[in-house]
Amino acid sequence: MKRMLAGFIMDGRSGGIDRYLLNFIETVCDGDVQIDLLTNEIDAELKEELRKYHAGLYAIPNLKHPAAQYRRVREIIRKGKYDAVYLNISTAIDCIAAIAAKHEGVPRRMIHSHSSGNDCESALKRKTFDFIHRVCRTFLHRYGTEYYGCSVRAGEWMFPSEIVHSNRFKVIYNAVDRKQYEYNEQIRKEMREQLEVADRFVIGHAGNFCYQKNHFFLIDVFAEVVKKSPDAVLVLAGDGVRFEAVKRRAAELGLGQSVRFLGRRSDTARLYQAMDVFVLPSNFEGLPIAGIEAQSAGLPCLMSSRITEESRITENCRFFPLEAGAEAWADEVIHSRGERRAAVFLENADNYDLANQRRQLRSLL
């Protein structure tokens, strides 16, 4: 039986890496492979979920204690006798486990980049982390044997150019079940009635409330939209560290009745049906799964030009610079308004199909 140690996961519900790792385990776990996961803190619900895959969950110290993390990872590897270590990370600062794996002689050390920036609330902290990331990036690749990313841009954030632009690097696409998101007129009617937006211009967004997703700018954009389209309503799915602060910003701008803060939702596939335009003004992304989902629902999508154009899978997706400002963005949002219809996919959309991802994931074993 092959044994693989994978990381890092939080609680199975906290973001793209969590979703990716759970999908990975579901896809590849069978009688011939044992996959265990690394986390910073054991989540009881996640541990129970992993039982059905016979997957273990091991807590390790966080990066505030690098020496302790290094020792713990070496201990886990030594006891588990793993054939491979598969590290899914957002920054090169998460280099400790890779170093531990090499020092324990693990033959396959797989490093998978899922981001293209550091998500910190403090600008000073971001600059500090960016500097540390750049330092760690100079040596991280030496502790890997295989290199992956959710996009080329994510690869360029994590690895040297000579690796990314060679056959040593592969993109593992962030796939979705496109059938689940197909445009459905009946669901659209039901959701718009449920949200009480039946006759309004619905602008939507789904994502964690954090620096990366840039909600403050989105609220400023919406304030400009309302000046020109008073029937507009902004629907926001998600939660996070900025949730309350963004609510206050909306209230300060007099938008309280026109912005719907829905919190974390498990029915985003249905929410997309209610929207008229999807807006994603991110400061950075590896590759946004929400953007793939929204396009699969046939939504016109307006995304920040800081997002890689690899994420464009329909003709109805455009990229616009944040530097253009809120008013220019508002004009672009209003211009995107049109009649909803089923998605017309570009040729590259097949990369983001679940069947293709399953083939890619199985090739990692």
Tens of pLDDT, residues 130-169: 999 999 999 999 999 999 999 999 999 999 999 999 999 9
More confident residue, 154 or 17: 154
d(C-alpha 2, C-alpha 33), whole Å? 5
pLDDT reading at 15 higher than 80? no
Half-sphere exposure (Cβ direction) of 124: Cα atoms closer than 13 Å:
0
Topology alike, domains 2-172 and 178-348: yes
d(C-alpha 346, C-alpha 356), whole Å? 15
108-113 β-sheet, strand order:
57-59, 33-39, 2-7, 84-89, 108-113, 146-149, 169-171
The confidence score (pLDDT) of residue 28 equals 80
The confidence score (pLDDT) of residue 184 equals 96
- Stated as kind and residue range, the H or E segment containing 280 is strand 277-280
For residue 355, the Cα-to-chain-centroid distance in whole angstroms is 19
d(C-alpha 298, C-alpha 276), whole Å? 10
- Stated as kind and residue range, the H or E segment containing 301 is strand 301-304
More confident residue, 16 or 196: 196
pLDDT tens readout for residues 66-76: 999 999 999 99
The confidence score (pLDDT) of residue 279 equals 98
- What is the mean predicted confidence (pLDDT) over 279-288? 95
- What is the mean predicted confidence (pLDDT) over 204-224? 97
Could you tell me the two tokens for 256?
């309280």
**Domain-wise residue ranges, the chain:** 2-172, 178-348
Asked whether the beta carbons of 205 and 236 are under 8 A apart, the reply is: yes
Give the pLDDT band (50/70/90) at residue 121: confident
2-172 placed in CATH 3.40.50.970: no
Give the pLDDT band (50/70/90) at residue 59: very high
pLDDT tens readout for residues 310-364: 999 999 999 999 999 999 999 999 999 988 999 999 998 988 887 888 888 888 8
Kindly give the residue spans of alpha helices, DSSP state H, lying in 182-274. 185-194, 215-228, 243-252, 268-274
Asked whether the beta carbons of 311 and 287 are under 8 A apart, the reply is: yes
For residue 100, the Cα-to-chain-centroid distance in whole angstroms is 27
The string of DSSP codes covering 58-98 is EE---TTSHHHHHHHHHHHHHHHT-SEEEEEESSTT--HHH
pTM of the model: 0.89
- Percentage, residues of the chain above pLDDT 70: 100
178-348 placed in CATH 3.20.20.70: no
201-206 β-sheet, strand order:
259-263, 232-237, 201-206, 277-280, 301-304, 317-320
d(C-alpha 25, C-alpha 84), whole Å? 14
pLDDT reading at 100 higher than 90? yes
Contacts 24+ apart (CB under 8 A), 313-316: 313/345, 313/346, 313/348, 313/349, 313/352, 314/343, 314/344, 314/345, 314/346, 314/349, 315/344, 315/346, 316/343, 316/344
Single-letter residue type at 113: S
Which residues 6+ apart lie within 8 Å of 280 measured at CB? Answer: 205, 207, 213, 288, 290, 291, 294, 301, 302, 303, 304, 307
Give the pLDDT band (50/70/90) at residue 36: very high
